[in-house]
Amino acid sequence: MSRKTALIIDDEEASRFLIRQYLADFPDITVAGECRNGLEAVRDINALQPDLIFLDIQMPAMNGFRVLEEITHIPLIIFTTAYDQFALQAFEMNALDYLLKPYTRERFSKAMERIHRGGHAQNLHFLAEAQTVNFPRRILVEKGNRLKSIAVDEIIYLKAEKDYTQIHTHDQSYLSSQGIGIIEKRLDPEKFIRIHRSHIVNILHIREVYRDISKMFLVMENGTELSIGRNYVDNLKKLIY
């Protein structure tokens, strides 16, 4: 197994020391450094480009979530925190795990098993681990050399672009490296319906439906008109009452 580098980010020295102790059981992980606050974290993540970070949430200068908004290098993420109320948000940021302090060596080892099973970061991150919901409320999408967090409800429609997928909101468009079929499986079918082999729409943003000769069209809230494929008309009919 190839060696990986890790960065420990926590304002408490005892917490950083504990992670170092537990990491001694994993010789394939090399500690690249430690950070005591969010500003140091952004600097060192971008400079050292670690494979993995252990990230506290409540820190001086900048919290853990803000750190993830500022970095350009995207590592694997294991959150380590004393606060349980941020778990869902953490998984929406594609965290591999959420270690609630105080955690045991055994619990730490279970988090590390996720890495050894081949966890990886993608340019489109969906909530996959949280057990309290079935579908993500937010996703991270690539914009330039950063990842931007957007609410799923803000998505107006998705369009297949060969092996990629365009994601359209009111004011921005993003390109995912995942195919539209893969994305469709990860979106709430109560909100997103397939209307064409190339289009998925968010029903929250449908303005109207009309027929023109033999074809049907949707008009979305942003004014975009999309044709409804013949094989997908039944998906729309389910919405008619």
pLDDT in tens, 14-45: 999 999 999 999 999 999 999 999 999 999 99
Amino acid letter for position 77: I
User: Are 188 and 201 within 8 A, CB to CB?
Assistant: no
Contact 67, 60 (CB under 8 A): no
Residue 114 is predicted with a pLDDT of: 78
Write the DSSP assignment of 93-153 as a string of letters.
Answer: TT-SEEEESS--HHHHHHHHHHHHTT----SEE---S-SS-SS-SEEEEEETTEEEEEEGG
Q: Is-above-0.75 flag for pTM?
A: no
Q: What per-residue confidence (pLDDT) applies to 120?
A: 44
Q: What CA–CA distance (Å, rounded) separates 50 from 121? A: 12
Highest mean pLDDT among 1-10, 51-60, 77-86: 51-60
pLDDT digits (tens, 9 = 90+) for 92-135: 677 888 999 999 999 999 899 877 765 544 333 433 333 334 57
Q: Pick the more confident residue, 125 or 147.
A: 147
